[in-house]
Amino acid sequence: MKPGDTERSDTERSDTERSDTERSDTNRLETQLDFILEVDKLKQVLRQTVLIADRRPENDAEHSWHLSLMAVLLVEHAASEVDLLKVLRMLLIHDLVEIDAGDTFAYDEVGNRDKAEREQRAATRIFGLLPEDQAQRYRAIWDEFEERHTAEARYAAALDRLQPLLLNFHTEGAAWRKHGISRAQVLARNEHIGEGAPALWQRARRLIDEAVTLGYLDA
């Protein structure tokens, strides 16, 4: 072996490893950016709830932002101490599946029969677009939200129920009246607000009763 061969060999290996790492980092970033562009579609998914100001349908991205802000402002009312960052992650991703599955109206009995199956398929595809470690992490967070077994999931789910209820009340029951929804239906749909935030459920129940009195909701 000639003098310097070992040094050159070590240098070449180091350069190769550095090149492989750079390619891997570049591929990871491109994959993440592709995911970000894919979920831009959430802005096009319309909900039954309408906005207070102009009564146009709310989209899922607006809904997710509103919930995230509520999570920060109302965390003192959570039933127990929560990891707020995990709650925010849940709320930011919980409706991404609706890019494929669509928004199923809460009181649509037929549509809700296969809702879980449609959303599971969507979760597999959409989170599968991420790098493997992030795909597993965010799918697990989405599953946790759906199952509502943790304090974070129960608090996040409470907000997810409360937000449309607030908008419905302050649009004079626009979606409720459109679909002929009754007080009993709204109570049944939203009662698990109490699991994640009992004080918010007490306030919600007062709004529901007032909505009936004002004619926004069928008795």
The whole-number pLDDT of residue 49 equals 96
Residue 47, domain member (yes or no): no
CA 94 vs. chain centroid, Å, equals: 2
Q: What is the rounded average pLDDT of the residues 11-15?
A: 64
Distance separating alpha carbons of residues 195 and 154, to the nearest angstrom = 6
- Tell me the Cα Rg of the chain: 23
- pLDDT band for position 15 (cuts 50, 70, 90): low
Q: Tell me, yes or no, whether 10 and 78 share the same domain.
A: no
* Nearest of 99, 126, 67 to residue 134 by alpha carbon: 126
* 150 Cβ contact list (under 8 Å, min separation 6): 144
Residue 18, domain member (yes or no): yes
Whether pTM > 0.85 for this model: the answer is: yes
Q: Tell me, yes or no, whether 10 and 71 share the same domain.
A: no
Q: Tell me, yes or no, whether 71 and 30 share the same domain.
A: no
Residue 191, domain member (yes or no): yes
Contact between residue 195 and residue 158 where contact means Cβ atoms under 8 Å apart:
yes
Give the chain's domain count: 2
* Nearest of 134, 63, 60, 59 to residue 96 by alpha carbon: 60
For the cut 80, the answer to whether the pLDDT of residue 196 exceeds it is yes
CATH number, domain at 102? 1.10.3210.10
Mean pLDDT of the chain: 93
The whole-number pLDDT of residue 73 equals 98
- pLDDT band for position 23 (cuts 50, 70, 90): confident
Q: Most distant CA pair in the chain: distance in Å? A: 95
Determine the structural domain holding residue 2 and report its residue range: 1-37
Residue 8, domain member (yes or no): yes
Distance separating alpha carbons of residues 48 and 59, to the nearest angstrom = 9
Q: What is the rounded average pLDDT of the residues 80-92?
A: 98
- pLDDT band for position 214 (cuts 50, 70, 90): very high
Q: Tell me, yes or no, whether 136 and 179 share the same domain.
A: yes
